[in-house]
Structure 1
């Protein structure tokens, strides 16, 4: 049995959606070439953490990672780590207090989409146009449907806020990792949600203008298929901060999780960690 080893600073797993709807994953450690993971399914993999953590923005060594890969100073100063990223309706760009206005011009003051997705249950979410379908892959969605396009992230946040009074806006990650999703008629759900939120959505449209809040009626549902051979019946998570190694047979990849026969690990949690992967087979 041959062994191959790769070491580097862990980054979020790159993923692409193929024409047939299958998700293709890679592992990226530092700036080295990406390693295909789909062909590692059913192989033995060992992950080891030696204790080194590096900020993914400035490269500073840090004892603890914040906001999925940043040192504390960067977490406090970067716009991408501000509270409005998680709560877009709290955007304070117009107040002149944005941490990085130039960054916001590029990433927040641009087209965003409000969508419905199915991750074993229906949910509402939002994402930048350039992050489709990456956002859906990262959350483990097996169906997705864009239902509104807005001119800014904040506007998408207000639309999402109106909709989430009637539908969840979080993914139950444990359920997502335990089974595939039963199909949902997202077009019907879209129409039902519009009826329930008509008044609130009309107020948002009047506030920002009809050209900035656009209802999408002709978008088609996107289906995604993840590389999973076996779903676990019980979810046990590896924690590299407590036990610096994880090992098992890779049985699936979904969202940003690796599913082993011995447990699951959210690789995005360890962005900025120096990890060593050993592949056998």
Structure 2
């Protein structure tokens, strides 16, 4: 079986959702490849041999033009320099500069930056704090390979969520160690207990941030602590973890092959190495299985 097209990050969804007596939501993670913006059933099953080949062509996911290099996961240089979705504040939301009048795109700000955002705790390689738009749950957690996640706050803007994230990052990591992520499943954590400890420790700082953002007259940037949320748990399709982490690079080796051992986050785990599919957004790929 063969599929060819412009690669986008894999779509991750949930199945077999269950709720335990402790109100922990647990579900299996399912994946679909996105080629030419169309979801296709993952053309592989665990244990099968697969091949991924890059044609040498890259196309901008925004304007569609051919580009010699991919910027910010699938953009040409022009879009990288002009699109709000490529601005530094996307990676560092606390640096949002809309209030300074220098946002690249008003429409983008309304549709993305001033939408409800969630501050959450997750367990991927270890405990981490992160943010995501309300509508991106659970996608954000699955893209990071989290086995546990717990929303702890809801706010009205991306900048406010970023301020809270860097506050919590004084005590909790805000990044995932991708090598540890692929070496095995992190030990389970008491996310509710950890949430309560962090909220208690940072209570004065949280109130200070709340007061600062309550002065905004343009948008509702309110801050709500989510005291009644319950943890979510996710089970990924993994037969075995790699004995040694070796990363495939299509820019150096245009064709790779291996037996599929598992999928976690945006990584395919092959017996020949791992590959981050999201890294190759905009690349023209051919995927084959035997």
* TM-score interval for Structure 1 and Structure 2 normalised by the shorter chain: over 0.9
**Pair 1:278-2:278 in alignment:** no
**202-211 or 41-50: bigger deviation:** 202-211
8 A contact 1:110–1:128 mirrored in 2: yes
**Pair 1:200-2:205 in alignment:** yes
| Match of residue 26, structure 1, among 15, 22, 32 | 32
**Pair 1:259-2:265 in alignment:** no
Q: C-alpha deviations, 1:50-98, integer Å up to 9, x for none?
A: 2000000100100100000100110111111100111111111111110
- Map of 1:220-231 to 2, 5 A cutoff? 220-231=230-241
Q: Using the TM superposition, give the Cα deviation of residue 207 of structure 1 relative to its aligned residue in structure 2, in angstroms.
A: 1.4
**Pair 1:213-2:219 in alignment:** no
**Pair 1:168-2:154 in alignment:** no
Matched residue, 2:106: 101
Matched residue, 2:115: 110
Q: Using the TM superposition, give the Cα deviation of residue 177 of structure 1 relative to its aligned residue in structure 2, in angstroms.
A: 0.6
- Map of 1:7-156 to 2, 5 A cutoff? 7-20=4-17, 21-36=27-42, 40-156=45-161
Q: Using the TM superposition, give the Cα deviation of residue 41 of structure 1 relative to its aligned residue in structure 2, in angstroms.
A: 1.4
Report the Cα distance in structure 2 between the residues aligned to 1:277 and 1:115, rounded to whole angstroms.
35
- Map of 1:227-246 to 2, 5 A cutoff? 227-246=237-256
Q: Using the TM superposition, give the Cα deviation of residue 15 of structure 1 relative to its aligned residue in structure 2, in angstroms.
A: 1.1
Report the Cα distance in structure 2 between the residues aligned to 1:232 and 1:75, rounded to whole angstroms.
35
Report the Cα distance in structure 2 between the residues aligned to 1:97 and 1:211, rounded to whole angstroms.
19
8 A contact 1:139–1:171 mirrored in 2: yes
The count of corresponding residues between Structure 1 and Structure 2 is: 276
Q: Using the TM superposition, give the Cα deviation of residue 101 of structure 1 relative to its aligned residue in structure 2, in angstroms.
A: 1.0
Where structure 1 has 5 or more consecutive residues not aligned to the other structure, the ranges are none
Q: Using the TM superposition, give the Cα deviation of residue 33 of structure 1 relative to its aligned residue in structure 2, in angstroms.
A: 4.6
TM-score (norm 1): 0.96
Matched residue, 2:24: none
SS at match of 2:9: coil
Q: Using the TM superposition, give the Cα deviation of residue 211 of structure 1 relative to its aligned residue in structure 2, in angstroms.
A: 7.2
Report the Cα distance in structure 2 between the residues aligned to 1:40 and 1:92, rounded to whole angstroms.
45
8 A contact 1:28–1:35 mirrored in 2: no
TM-score (norm 2): 0.93
